[in-house]
Amino acid sequence: MFKLATTLLLTGLACAACVSTTNNNSSTYLKDAFAPHFMMGTAFNEQQISGQATEDVQLALSHFNAVTPENIMKWEVIHPSPNEYNFAASDQLVALANEHNFFLIGHTLTWHSQTPDWVFKTPEGNLKDREALLALLKEHIYTVAGRYRGKIQAWDVVNEALNEDGTLRNSLWLQIIGPDYIEKAFQFAHEAAPNAKLYYNDYNLFKPEKRAGVIDMVKRLQAKNIPIDGVGLQGHYALDYPDLSLLEDSIVAYGDLGVEVMITELDVSVLPFPEEEEMGADVSINLALQSKFNPYANGLPSSINSQLSDRYEELFKLFLKHQDKISRVTFWGVNDRQTWRNDWPMQGRSDYPLLFDRNNQPKDAAQSIIRLTQ
């Protein structure tokens, strides 16, 4: 049923998602415009994967050639209890991606967040010891990555392991196993899926201190001949954040390590934030909704839409400048209706951070970045 629905949409509504780029109404798709430069990716949520949002999927099939799942492969979903794995949604995604030749990134094998307490604790509530947690990490990675060996082309092996100063986050992974848990995760992933590309993924990687931490991590792995193929810079940005010179410095620095550089989870918030330090992507932040931080509840003003277009154009000029280092740019969602930004760091906000609006219509920003390639 899902295959039939998407096929009908693609054949019957093929131009519904076209982006007009010139006065004579010529149109193109993102993945085609950027094909000579880098892959263009998006993220699918469970409704899209299950076939409940076929128009979103049709849009994605038209415009993107890489896909990452938002949540279905995170530990709490795919491995919710010690003897239970839930592969239904991920199997659907793998089938969809393979059918339509998406480059598929598994997200994520090791993360401090969205991981159940039982992973770290015994039934009595005590912290597990190093050997027990290492054995569980190996079993999880072997089971999940091994199931999709040859079907998932890349994995975000470790996600958000660093503090803002570049030191290792004091997660339970670190507390119980020690700093080599990162090495072990990459080692296990390579053993389970030897042909998959293996990535480290994190936010605020433009910051010099955090950049230094990533560089040190990659060099340690390389020195031990533990495969790491790339660094994903989560692009949770805003109209005036970050300083693009810092972002450029990081792109160059990571590229100099000889690994791929990817812009992952890209979205540009148009909303004000309570404090600058909350501009990262810490999903644990949950503040009370205030109207002054939700100024566009009834729609995006044209002036702000223009600013969003300008910001995306600035970002993609930078990405194209360093296309020799960047292998992929992935947006964190298909459209504004889907974006996590609507509810972070306050439930109920209305944000407009992506290239397509809540009705899957392209914004001026989509036109702007495509024109950069013409």
Q: Which of 55, 70, 160, 183 is catalytic?
A: 160
Q: Which of 265, 275, 278, 314 is catalytic?
A: 265
Look up residue 40 and give its DSSP letter: E
For residues 192 and 145, give the distance between their C-alpha atoms in angstroms, rounded to a whole number.
Answer: 6
Catalytic (active site) residue 84? no
For residues 106 and 94, give the distance between their C-alpha atoms in angstroms, rounded to a whole number.
Answer: 10
For residues 162 and 87, give the distance between their C-alpha atoms in angstroms, rounded to a whole number.
Answer: 29
Antiparallel, parallel or unpaired: β 19-20 and 27-28: antiparallel
Q: How far is CA 368 from CA 15, 23, 104, 305, in A?
A: 19, 13, 27, 12
- Of 232, 342, 265, nearest to 68 by C-alpha is 265
For residues 211 and 105, give the distance between their C-alpha atoms in angstroms, rounded to a whole number.
Answer: 23
Catalytic (active site) residue 160? yes
Q: Helices (DSSP H) in 70-224: which residue ranges?
A: 75-78, 88-99, 130-147, 172-177, 181-192, 208-223
What angle is formed at CA 176 by the lines to CA 172 and CA 178, rounded to 5 degrees?
100
Look up residue 346 and give its DSSP letter: B
Which tokens is 265 given? 């989870």
What are the catalytic residues?
160, 265
